[in-house]
Structure 1
Amino acid sequence: MKKNWWKILSVGLLCYVIIAGFLIDVPALPILHETIRNLFFHVTMWFAMMIIMLSSMISSIRFLSKFRMSADVWAVESANTGMFFGTMGLLTGMLWANYTWGDWWVNDPKLNGAAATMLIYLAYFVLRGSLDDEEKRAKISAIYNIFAFTMLVVFLVILPRMTDSLHPGSGGNPGFSTYDIDDTMRLVFYPAIIGWTLMGVWILQIRVRTRFLQMKIRNNG
């Protein structure tokens, strides 16, 4: 039980976020209206994705420095988990866009950057699947993974801030934090980031254990 306290915390935080996210009073903003509640899910899932993808890159660097296959396992499963949260973030973002901008997808730098990022990471998995030699696959994919995270930062953080965008905090469009998120929303927003990130770590841990068991069975067989 002592080792699993963070799992209990994750479930507790997400239950709180889901309930409070739909029940608390939110600012009455033009265009956004009640859809601003999606901030607790869409944005926080992207935060979780970026943190998990960062851990994937760190695992790839660890592999290249020590050439331990366990680090490669952590790298690929972190990327798998990050892709799950990225997909969920993309879907919730499309839903939000349909209600606020009138279309499921608009020509927006951040949306296009998100799509490009997902395609770059999909290429990472295609690359891994195309190489049969285990060591060669681990080395090449580790190098590519570092490139992939670098491009994630470029597409999701740097470029949107240099161009005009419908997203808050991009170009000349102020961020939510400057005027839209009140203190009540912060009481849900920050726990949501922690909750989704911990849930991601939990999923990652399960995937890594499963991968190690599969490797053990394959080696013993």
Structure 2
Amino acid sequence: MSPKIKLVEHKALMPDTAPSSSWNLHLSVKNDGALYLPNAIFKKPIVSGTPVDLSFAIQDISNDDFFQNDHGFQFPYQPRIVESIRNLMLHVPMWFTMFLLMGIGFVQSIKTLKISPNTMLHDAKALSSIKVGIVFGILGLITGSLWARFTWGAWWVNDPQLNGALVSVMIYSGYLILRSSITDASSKARLSAVYSLFAFVILMVLLMVLPRFTESLHPGKSGNPAFSKYDLDSSLRLVFYPAVIGWMIIGCWMYKLTLRLELLKEKIQSKKEH
């Protein structure tokens, strides 16, 4: 005997201005416990069937008028990350700012290796930018770990993108250790500059090259979309790009303060020696 199935449509429960096309259903009953059904409720039915043979026809929701019309400012809905997509304003700008600061360190390290009366100034600039860059790298790891815990269920996973980010921060931390082990100022500047050049190349390889040739959970790698219509629509870009610029400005401001501090330390040290 074929079971009887009755499909009920409640249009009044799904307003046209809803920020999502589907909702998860969480039922909690004192005696029976909790039940979680992902994508259990839809803005309008996408499944139709007959109670006889239970055959189903799936409609393409990408052609839904909901995705074609502009509903104003809203965060794109993704069942896996939902409201945690707001972390995009923190996590991604941290790495953009780190790349900017490490790039400054790379350029200043090249200038340090050139014979000029401003060698020590360029060395101080390289040191200051790398110090602040490490801070933003650590913040990027922390925000990424929080996001991974929510999305993947673990604080850390064995992923080439994540491992490469951690190794990159550790390599640049070695830059500071190298400087602390050398007493001669001239040798310290030149050896640190060479180390910085290699560190920046390794940074680019670990974060920009290798993850694109390996399987990765991280968005933007191995076919995993990033900055697409599914996770960054036009309304969200109005916040994301200013956030990137804002964090870069903060990073440069911190770099300037750190540089002033390093130059002040050099003056104090020079007076003590004389």
- TM-score (structure 1 length as normaliser): 0.87
**Aligned equivalents of 1:220 and 1:156: distance in 2?**
43
The equivalent residue for 1:18 is none
Structure 1 residue aligned with 2:106, among 57, 62, 79?
57
Following superposition, the deviation at residue 211 of structure 1 comes to 1.1
Structure 2 residue aligned with 1:145, among 196, 216, 233?
196
Could you list the runs of 5+ residues in structure 1 that have no partner in the other structure?
Answer: 1-23
- Give the counterpart letter for 2:89 in structure 1: F
Following superposition, the deviation at residue 25 of structure 1 comes to 2.2
Equivalent residues of 1:77, 1:204 under 8 A apart:
yes
Could you list the runs of 5+ residues in structure 2 that have no partner in the other structure?
Answer: 1-72
Offset from partner CA, 1:18-45 (integer Å, 9 cap, x none)? xxxxxx6211102110111101100111
**Aligned equivalents of 1:177 and 1:70: distance in 2?**
43
Pick the structure with greater CA Rg.
Answer: 2
**Aligned equivalents of 1:56 and 1:129: distance in 2?**
17
**Aligned equivalents of 1:178 and 1:160: distance in 2?**
22
**Aligned equivalents of 2:236 and 2:92: distance in 1?**
13
**Aligned equivalents of 1:89 and 1:33: distance in 2?**
20
The equivalent residue for 1:27 is 76
Equivalent residues of 1:59, 1:75 under 8 A apart:
yes
The equivalent residue for 1:91 is 142
**Aligned equivalents of 2:78 and 2:109: distance in 1?**
43
Moved over 4 A (4+): none
Equivalent residues of 2:104, 2:129 under 8 A apart:
yes
Equivalent residues of 1:60, 1:146 under 8 A apart:
yes
The equivalent residue for 2:115 is 66
- SS of 1:104's equivalent in the other structure is coil
- SS of 2:114's equivalent in the other structure is helix
- SS of 2:219's equivalent in the other structure is coil
**Aligned equivalents of 1:134 and 1:51: distance in 2?**
26
Structure 1 residue aligned with 2:174, among 123, 142, 149?
123
- TM-score (structure 2 length as normaliser): 0.70
- Give the counterpart letter for 1:143 in structure 2: V
Structure 1 residue aligned with 2:210, among 122, 147, 159?
159
- Give the counterpart letter for 1:36 in structure 2: I
Following superposition, the deviation at residue 123 of structure 1 comes to 1.1
1:211 aligns to 2:248 (yes or no):
no
The equivalent residue for 1:7 is none
Following superposition, the deviation at residue 219 of structure 1 comes to 1.3
- Give the counterpart letter for 2:90 in structure 1: F
The equivalent residue for 1:176 is 227
Following superposition, the deviation at residue 177 of structure 1 comes to 3.1
**Identity among equivalent pairs (%):** 47
1:133 aligns to 2:184 (yes or no):
yes
- SS of 1:200's equivalent in the other structure is helix
**Aligned equivalents of 2:100 and 2:228: distance in 1?**
20
Offset from partner CA, 1:146-169 (integer Å, 9 cap, x none)? 000001100111111111111111
